[in-house]
Amino acid sequence: MSTTSAAGELIAEHAKEEQHLSAGLDISQAFPQATPASKFPHSVSDYYQLDDLLTPEERAIRIRVRETAERDIAPIIAKYWERAEFPFEIVPNLAKLKVAGGTIKGYGCPGLSVVGSALAMAEIARVDASCSTFMMVHTCLAMLTIAMCGSEEQKQKYLPSLARLDTIACWALTEPDFGSDASSLSTTATKVEGGWLLNGQKRWIGNSTFADISVIFARNTQTNQINGLLVKKGAPGFSATKIQNKIGLRVVQNGDIVLRKVFVPDEDRLTGINSFKDTAKVLAVSRIVVAWQPIGISMGVYDMCHRYLQERKQFGAPLASFQLVQEKLVRMLGNIQAMALMGWRLCKLYEAGKMTPGQASLAKAWNTLRARETVALGRELLGGNGIMADFLVAKAFCDLEPIYTYEGSYEVNSLVTGREVVAWSVGIDKVQLFDVPDLQLWY
């Protein structure tokens, strides 16, 4: 055997050994004392039997989505989260749920109640927050914008395919220079013969790297008002680059969008968006769903901890038998009951036409704050395994951080609610209130 071939064999053998070592043991073999999240635990967080508040249709939606998420998402999602890749293989199963389009009626959309749409996103978030965010961006931002602000022709052209998830949409408002100050965006739309030319940049746009349709918000150079336009995948001058190195919602493909003289024909301008106030109508609904995402995340973390603590033994007894452990579980459980009640009531206020922006902002701010506490307690309860994505809690801990900030940070949402309650208390004409621009969106 030549020296060259012998060296080649040694290199190949070494490569195989390194591959084996890097793969590591399967988590079930490495830690057989507790079941990983790939086999998702049963739901045990409805301590106050809040399901009784739901209609039969809403309960059926919850069951359907929960079963699909546990069966199709849970077994595979940790590896996608680790690689920061999107699991396109689950899209057909998400389509079969028939929840894309949420509350939109007609055009192939399901016409769910607000509670039903929120429940669907929460149940996906219970297993994986990234997949929930993917669906929420597609449904509660992009599709809802077309439904609320598009022409009849635009609705008929785009919504049926989007409802089937045959095509995917993203929603592009946030810019590098404008987050919380979203209404001050600098991307421009200039009128030309037969259409519009878009120039500018967008950042943190979820689904943007693979979306078939992008809802782009730009400042009309003639009126100085915000307009909405639909840009199709592959349009000349349009590019979307994936944002790397995120610590949360790693499965969501957030992108930086660059628009260089992108031509949009007149028929793809959303005629119902003529100012930022029109955009705010969509945000009012999407903020309800965002307030439900932390509910779902907290439910999943509690369910995982509840099972883990009964399986995992220390000092000769299950961890669940120790009183300090039980106290943390009780705090988590109490948070979930309160969050769910606030989320349910918010939906009912919206359905009755009574919901105010401040009420939506309070639910989003308070629920994400309580969810932060809940997942942190779960992280403590799982000890060393609390930093492993295999047991859900570490992934949920990281995924909640961007949710705490997107669609309005805790502080900005608090200002929105604070401004409203002060106005209610002393009369809007008697106080000078800081004019908080509408909220930042990390989509």
Q: What is the CATH number of the domain that holds 135?
A: 1.10.540.10
Please give the pLDDT value at position 425.
Answer: 64
Task: Examine residue 57 and state whether it is found in any structural domain, yes or no.
Answer: yes
Same domain, 158 and 234: no
Domain boundary among 227, 254, 270: 270
Please give the pLDDT value at position 259.
Answer: 98
Please give the pLDDT value at position 5.
Answer: 59
Q: How many CB atoms lie within 10 A of CB 301?
A: 31
Task: Examine residue 24 and state whether it is found in any structural domain, yes or no.
Answer: no
Integer-rounded Cα Rg, in Å, for the chain is 24
Mean pLDDT of 204-230: 97
Mean pLDDT of 407-430: 80
Same domain, 304 and 406: yes
Q: How many CB atoms lie within 10 A of CB 300?
A: 31
Mean pLDDT of 137-141: 97
Mean pLDDT of 323-352: 98
Domain boundary among 238, 270, 302: 270
Please give the pLDDT value at position 183.
Answer: 74
Percent of the chain scoring above 90 in pLDDT: 81
Same domain, 57 and 157: yes
Task: Examine residue 417 and state whether it is found in any structural domain, yes or no.
Answer: yes
Q: How far is CA 31 from the centre of its chain?
A: 31
Task: Examine residue 294 and state whether it is found in any structural domain, yes or no.
Answer: yes
The mean pLDDT value of the chain amounts to 91
User: Which CATH number characterizes residue 303's domain?
Assistant: 1.20.140.10
**Contact by Cβ (8 Å): 251, 77:** yes
Task: Examine residue 71 and state whether it is found in any structural domain, yes or no.
Answer: yes
Which residue has tokens 């293989």?
89
Q: How many domains does the chain have?
A: 3
At 222, list the tokens: 């003639």
Same domain, 183 and 266: yes
Lowest mean pLDDT among 12-16, 213-217, 395-399: 12-16
**Full domain range(s) for residue 152:** 50-163
Task: Examine residue 176 and state whether it is found in any structural domain, yes or no.
Answer: yes
With b meaning 16 or more CB within 10 Å and e meaning fewer, what string describes 125-157?
bbbbbbbbbbbbbbbbbbbbbbbbbbeeebbeb
Please give the pLDDT value at position 437.
Answer: 43
> pTM of the predicted model, to two decimals?
0.91
Is 70 exceeded by the pLDDT of residue 429?
no
Same domain, 208 and 345: no
Same domain, 295 and 190: no
Is 80 exceeded by the pLDDT of residue 182?
no
As a whole number of angstroms, the distance between CA 406 and CA 113 comes to: 24
Please give the pLDDT value at position 160.
Answer: 98
Domain boundary among 163, 194, 214: 163
Task: Examine residue 13 and state whether it is found in any structural domain, yes or no.
Answer: no
| Tens digit of each residue's pLDDT (9 = 90 or more) over 431-443 | 444 444 444 333 3
